[in-house]
């Protein structure tokens, strides 16, 4: 009787473990998206301070002639030990009425913890064609399956 109870509790533990692993297999998250202007030297800040970064971003907003690109820094994670076939897609809409939305993609690999930071850059020409970016959406894809999404308020 005691061995049957041990076997049943072991079976329950294995089933719980497998169900948690399967639930995480197709999961992913876009944790944070930070759009940063880049100056002519490709810098988003003059020092590692967050205060300095925010001040320099405000300076670049006031002086758009100094902007060379817009970089989206994306913190994301993918569950289930995925490493191949993952990509980040950034879609941006601009303030110019005639401008078509821009879509950028990059292949990504998770870090050893399953999460990572990746950068996707909208170059100067595309940025100027759009005008100022008024809305964006970032999605994480595994092949043809969307795992996660984060979008700006105006998307």
Helix intervals (H) in 33-148: 50-62, 124-130
Is 70 exceeded by the pLDDT of residue 154?
Answer: yes
Taking the C-alpha atoms of residue 32 and residue 73, their distance in angstroms, rounded to an integer, is 8
Asked whether residue 18 is domain-assigned, the answer is no
Of 24-28, 31-35, 119-123, 145-149, the poorest mean pLDDT is in 24-28
Asked whether residue 40 is domain-assigned, the answer is yes
* Residue 69 domain boundaries: 27-151
Cβ proximity of 103 and 126 under 8 Å = no
pLDDT of 23 reads: 43
Share of the chain above pLDDT 90, in %: 62
Instruction: Summarize the confidence of residues 117-134 as an average pLDDT.
Output: 90
Instruction: Summarize the confidence of residues 114-143 as an average pLDDT.
Output: 91
- Record the pTM: 0.77
As a whole number, the mean pLDDT across the chain is: 84
Based on the structure, what is the number of domains in the chain?
1
Is 90 exceeded by the pLDDT of residue 46?
Answer: yes
Asked whether residue 10 is domain-assigned, the answer is no
> How many alpha carbons fall within 13 Å on the CB side of residue 78?
26
Most confident of 42-51, 94-103, 126-135: 42-51
At 11, is the pLDDT very low, low, confident or very high (cuts 50, 70, 90)?
Answer: low
Taking the C-alpha atoms of residue 129 and residue 99, their distance in angstroms, rounded to an integer, is 6
Asked whether residue 8 is domain-assigned, the answer is no
pLDDT of 66 reads: 94
Asked whether residue 33 is domain-assigned, the answer is yes
Asked whether residue 104 is domain-assigned, the answer is yes
Residue range 68-93, pLDDT digits in tens: 999 999 999 988 656 678 999 999 99
CATH assignment of the domain containing 121: 2.60.40
Asked whether residue 3 is domain-assigned, the answer is no
Cβ proximity of 26 and 147 under 8 Å = yes
Asked whether residue 118 is domain-assigned, the answer is yes
Is 90 exceeded by the pLDDT of residue 138?
Answer: yes
Residue range 139-150, pLDDT digits in tens: 999 999 999 999
Cβ proximity of 99 and 131 under 8 Å = yes
Is 90 exceeded by the pLDDT of residue 2?
Answer: no
């Amino acid at each position: 009787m005691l061995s049957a109870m041990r076997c049943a509790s072991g079976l329950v533990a294995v089933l719980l473990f497998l169900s948690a692993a399967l639930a995480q297999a197709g999961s992913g998250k876009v944790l944070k998206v930070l759009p940063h202007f880049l100056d002519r030297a490709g810098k988003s800040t003059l020092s590692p301070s967050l205060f300095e970064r925010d001040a320099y971003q405000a300076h670049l907003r006031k002086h758009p002639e100094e902007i060379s690109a817009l970089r989206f820094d994306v913190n994301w994670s993918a569950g289930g030990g995925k490493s191949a076939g993952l990509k980040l897609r950034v879609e941006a809409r601009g303030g110019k009425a005639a401008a078509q939305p821009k879509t950028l993609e990059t292949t990504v690999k998770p870090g050893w913890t399953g999460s990572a930071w990746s950068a996707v850059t909208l170059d100067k020409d595309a940025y100027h064609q759009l005008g100022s970016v008024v809305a964006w959406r970032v999605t994480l894809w595994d092949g043809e399956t969307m795992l996660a999404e984060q979008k700006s308020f105006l998307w």
